[in-house]
Amino acid sequence: MKPFVFLDRDGTLIVEKNYLHDPGGVEVIEGAAEAIRRLHDGGFGVALITNQSAIGRGYFGLERLQMIHQRLEDLLAADGATLDAIYVCPHTPDDGCACRKPGIDMITTAAGDHEVDLKRSFIIGDKECDIDCGINAGLTTILVRTGYGSRLETEIGERADYVADNLLEAADWILNKP
């Protein structure tokens, strides 16, 4: 069993862009690749879990989403970082699925795929659904101030186990946690 760090995508790992549809628009947040490298070096798996309602809304298809994620993986690889897996909920909030955060199906699927030790795992995100997903799955939760996090900190920051300026600070906190 291995601990994992589950990352939100938009606003946490990459710059928030409303319904990002162009692979050329992917911008990794400064320090994010280094954070992933440090987490891997510290013995953690790292998986992306992302709500992508643009698919369910018909803004673009799964093929375009795969191109976006390939661009993300290429940018990370150029900085020596890799993700162990990417899990996507393509549904809209109205679909009532169990995979959309704050639901935990993406986490439970990852746990089965990678023999994840959920009790020693973390989630990092910039929105309430990320923190609630972590709480629902029994993970340690970290709110980052990137993306929407700085605007939501007064509302949801106290529900998170830790609040970090960015993914790199969150990774350092995880790695130095007793």
Torsion (CA) 122, 25, 18, 137 in degrees, nearest 10 = -10
Catalytic positions, written as ranges: 8, 10
Q: What is the pLDDT of residues 128-155, one digit of tens each?
A: 999 999 999 999 999 999 999 999 999 9
DSSP SS3 for 119: helix
Q: String of b and e for 3-40 (b: at least 16 CB within 10 Å)?
A: bbbbbbbbbbbbbbeeebeebeebebbebbbbbbbbbb
In tens, the pLDDT along 113-127 reads: 999 999 999 999 999
**What residue ranges define each of the domains in the chain, with the CATH number in brackets?**
4-117+129-145+162-175 (3.40.50.1000)
The mean pLDDT value of the chain amounts to 97
What is the pTM (predicted TM-score) of this model?
A: 0.97
